[in-house]
Amino acid sequence: MKRREFVTSIAAGLAASGLSQGVWAAASGSAKVDVAARIDPRILQQLVNDVARELGVVGGQMALFDGENIHEFTTGVANRERQLPVTSDTLFQIGSTTKVFNAALIMTLVDEGVLDLDAPVKTWIKDFELGSPEATAAVTLRQLLSMSSGIDNGPYTAYGRGDDALVRYVASLADIPMIFEPGTAYGYSNASTNVSGLSAQLATGKNWETLLAERILNPLGLKQAANFPEDLLYHPVALGYGYAPGAETPERVPFWGLPRSMAPAGASLCCSAGDLVRFARMFLRDGKSEGGAQVVSSAGIRTMHTPQVTLPSRVLAQKWCTGPYWKEWDGHGIYGHSGTNTGGSSLLLWCPEINVAIATISNVANQGYPFADRIFSTVFPDVFGIRKPAAPDPKKVERVAVDLDRFVGRFEAWSVRREFSIEDGKLIVKVYTEAESAEPAMTSELIPLGGDRFLPADPAMSGNRNWDVAFWGNDGGRASHYLDGVFASRRTA
């Protein structure tokens, strides 16, 4: 079903139900959209099926909360080799969406006075050390959770399955230069999230996974969520698939997940789309579970919903809060997070103003964002009554004339360097992922959007996320930093 057919079909359904107010009534304030009445399970199921088929998604889920009830939809297979269908209780790798779970876990400890968002992390990690002595002494949990710590995104090193994996990972950060001084800018960082998770682990004497289960998963009744492979045995689990360049058929990803050393950042947590929405429902109910238990305090929820830093890029989000990101669609504040692991990709959004939440998951990692975008582009306007901005299209975006000279040079972060040059009047980026490599792993033009923002001409630059990139800062008239969607790097030449 194409989008035009879908809109026609749902419009007919709305007319039949007597909901004759305009699609945008909720946004305009003239009337409140009855979200529950706009949900036609048959149409939404067809939407999920069609988007998955068109994008080559092997298996996926979509769940939404209408203010009262949760609706779940599935498509495809979790295990293509055995033709096991995706069901509503199938678990997928959710990747970095885990970071909001980690932030909520930490907030429960803040509520109890065990942790303090504004105290130095060295309060709990006594031997904590970063590439800068000043940063080591200053960095706080609030900065770690809001992606303003200045810590590099960091390595993906495995340190075994023991409870010391997280300890050893954080110790490895001592030799990595900072991207910027804590609290002065924005830079998404898996490493910073792992540091925050270790703070909780050391402050309580319990491993991170146990804390997550005791403080978030169990109190919220999330039964379709698990971290360890041993726990996954009790659930139907989606295997990961991917497309080789030029291939028409996806192949199964031959390895599982990221190492335990990165668990707080999103290495291991698996979940269903339904449980993602049940988790988001806590934010819509002032920190309470469905049964009324206070999991995170009202003050904690307000803190998690308060923007802490503004992004120089704009597509994925405009601001970052203490855990989730924030963006504005059609005058409404939308919170959420997204994530990708080796075999899965998830996206979770919620809107407190109209009391709704939605989540998607795909087991083809690099199609997770397009899968979500296509579904959200229909559900937000036609069901929630919120106009969703269209994803930028490199073939259609308007070029803005800017002075490109200040962006030329080399920018680096852990395991990646980017060389920017001007060729035929265009800004070109070459990405190198091996220290001594003479050949770039990827090359793309950056299309100027105005100011310091650009859009990569090649969507593969952002893993098909279609996010913008941006520069900021001043280094003798040149930009001092670069943000690749959300990942920051510093000028080195």
Q: Is residue 396 part of a domain?
A: no
pLDDT at 31: 53
Question: Given pLDDT bands bounded at 50, 70 and 90, which one contains residue 14?
Answer: very low
User: Coil, strand or helix: which one is 26?
Assistant: helix
Cα diameter, the chain: 66
Q: Is the pLDDT of residue 26 over 70?
A: no
Q: Is residue 397 part of a domain?
A: no
Lowest mean pLDDT across 25-29, 138-142, 269-273, 367-371? 25-29
pLDDT at 275: 98
Domain boundary, last residue among 362, 391, 420: 391
Q: Which residues of 230-241 are buried (b: 16+ CB within 10 A; e: fewer)?
A: eeeeebbbbbbb
Question: By C-alpha distance, which of 265, 221, 219 is closest to 111?
Answer: 219
What residues contact residue 82 under an 8 Å CB cut-off, 6+ apart?
Answer: none
pLDDT at 307: 98
Q: Is residue 484 part of a domain?
A: yes
Taking only the tens place, the pLDDT of each residue in 78-110 is 999 999 999 999 999 999 999 999 999 999 999
pLDDT at 437: 77
State the Cα angle at 230 between 225 and 235, rounded to 5°.
45
Give dist(CA 375, CA 369) in Å, integer: 10
Q: Is the pLDDT of residue 7 over 50?
A: no
Do 122 and 193 fall within a single domain? Answer: yes
Taking only the tens place, the pLDDT of each residue in 432-474 is 998 777 899 999 999 999 999 999 999 989 888 889 999 999 9
Give the tokens for residue 150: 């200045």
* Cβ atoms of residues 487 and 153 within 8 Å: yes
Do 176 and 311 fall within a single domain? Answer: yes
pTM for the structure as a whole = 0.93
Do 387 and 410 fall within a single domain? Answer: no
* Cβ atoms of residues 222 and 275 within 8 Å: yes
Give dist(CA 60, CA 364) in Å, integer: 9
Question: Given pLDDT bands bounded at 50, 70 and 90, which one contains residue 1?
Answer: very low
Helix, strand and coil content of the chain, in percent to the nearest 5, comes to 35, 25, 45
Percent of the chain whose predicted confidence (pLDDT) is above 70: 94
- DSSP line for 44-62: HHHHHHHHHHHHT-SEEEE
Q: Is residue 398 part of a domain?
A: no
Give dist(CA 245, CA 126) in Å, integer: 47
Question: By C-alpha distance, which of 173, 209, 213, 206 is closest to 189?
Answer: 173
Pairing of strands 92-93, 344-351: unpaired
Question: Given pLDDT bands bounded at 50, 70 and 90, which one contains residue 429?
Answer: very high
- Which runs of E-coded beta strand occur in 370-468? 409-413, 416-423, 426-432, 442-450, 453-456
User: Coil, strand or helix: which one is 29?
Assistant: coil
* Cβ atoms of residues 491 and 480 within 8 Å: yes
CA distances from 485 to 273, 297, 357 (A): 25, 32, 24
Burial of 461 (0-12, 13-18, 19+ CB in 10 A): buried
Give dist(CA 166, CA 94) in Å, integer: 19
Question: Given pLDDT bands bounded at 50, 70 and 90, which one contains residue 256?
Answer: very high
Do 312 and 453 fall within a single domain? Answer: no
* CATH value at residue 33: 3.40.710.10
Domain that holds residue 480: 405-491
Do 7 and 155 fall within a single domain? Answer: yes
Do 180 and 206 fall within a single domain? Answer: yes
Domain boundary, last residue among 359, 391, 423: 391
Do 119 and 52 fall within a single domain? Answer: yes
Q: Is the pLDDT of residue 137 over 50?
A: yes
One-letter amino acid for residue 1 of the chain: M
pLDDT at 213: 98
β-bridge mates for residue 27, sequence order: none
Question: By C-alpha distance, which of 128, 122, 121, 120 is closest to 172?
Answer: 128
Do 264 and 130 fall within a single domain? Answer: yes
Q: Is the pLDDT of residue 3 over 80?
A: no
Q: State the DSSP code for 215.
A: I
Percent of the chain whose predicted confidence (pLDDT) is above 90: 89
Do 379 and 416 fall within a single domain? Answer: no
Domain boundary, last residue among 340, 363, 391: 391
Do 142 and 200 fall within a single domain? Answer: yes
Give dist(CA 177, CA 136) in Å, integer: 12
- Which runs of E-coded beta strand occur in 80-182? 84-85, 92-93
Q: Is the pLDDT of residue 64 over 80?
A: yes
Do 422 and 308 fall within a single domain? Answer: no
Question: By C-alpha distance, which of 278, 303, 274, 276 is closest to 288?
Answer: 278
Q: Is residue 84 part of a domain?
A: yes
Taking only the tens place, the pLDDT of each residue in 308-346 is 999 999 999 999 999 999 999 999 999 999 999 999 999
Domain count, the chain: 2
Q: Is residue 320 part of a domain?
A: yes
Q: Is the pLDDT of residue 215 over 80?
A: yes
Phi and psi of 483, rounded to 5°? -120, 115
**CA distance between the termini of the chain:** 51
Give dist(CA 360, CA 41) in Å, integer: 16
Q: Is residue 400 part of a domain?
A: no
Residue with tokens 């269209």: 390
pLDDT at 11: 36
Question: Given pLDDT bands bounded at 50, 70 and 90, which one contains residue 246?
Answer: confident
Do 365 and 414 fall within a single domain? Answer: no
Q: Is residue 273 part of a domain?
A: yes
β-bridge mates for residue 195, sequence order: none
* CATH value at residue 428: 2.40.128.50
One-letter amino acid for residue 114 of the chain: V
